[in-house]
Amino acid sequence: MGKLESTDKKAAAPKVKKPAVKKTTTKAAAEKAPKKTVKASAKKPTALPAPPAPSYDDISLRAYFISEKRQQLGLPGDSSQDWVEAERQLIAEATSKKPAKKAKSS
């Protein structure tokens, strides 16, 4: 048997030199470099605090007025429905309120 010649020759990839990157380490160079800022749109939105729940006295007063109006109009219902309606109205008012603007004095 004769010698087998190896046909597997690896081609050497040409080496490419990368350009050197200069890093600034002096204070003067660091001051001249642009500063990175966080955009306002990149900030995470914060949840608004929940409005305080209506007090027992507030609900009972509103339920009383709802009951009086219901009886005047002759509508069916009872005190527990009036209570639930009063609570619903007060919570809806608390969540939809916007800060009051100061009145200009003339």
- Rounded distance between C-alpha atoms, residue 102 and residue 105, angstroms: 9
Contacts of 62 (CB under 8 A, 6+ apart): 86, 89, 90
Residue 7 maps to a domain: no
Q: Decide if pLDDT at 69 tops 80.
A: yes
* Residue 36: band (very low, low, confident or very high) from pLDDT cuts 50, 70, 90: low
Residue 64 maps to a domain: yes
Residue 40 maps to a domain: no
* Residue 37: band (very low, low, confident or very high) from pLDDT cuts 50, 70, 90: low
Tell me how far the alpha carbon of residue 22 is from its chain's centroid.
Answer: 41
Cut 0.85: pTM above it: no
Question: Which residue range forms the structural domain that includes residue 86?
Answer: 51-68+79-95
Residue 58 maps to a domain: yes
Q: Which carries the bigger pLDDT value, residue 36 or residue 59? A: 59
Residue 84 maps to a domain: yes
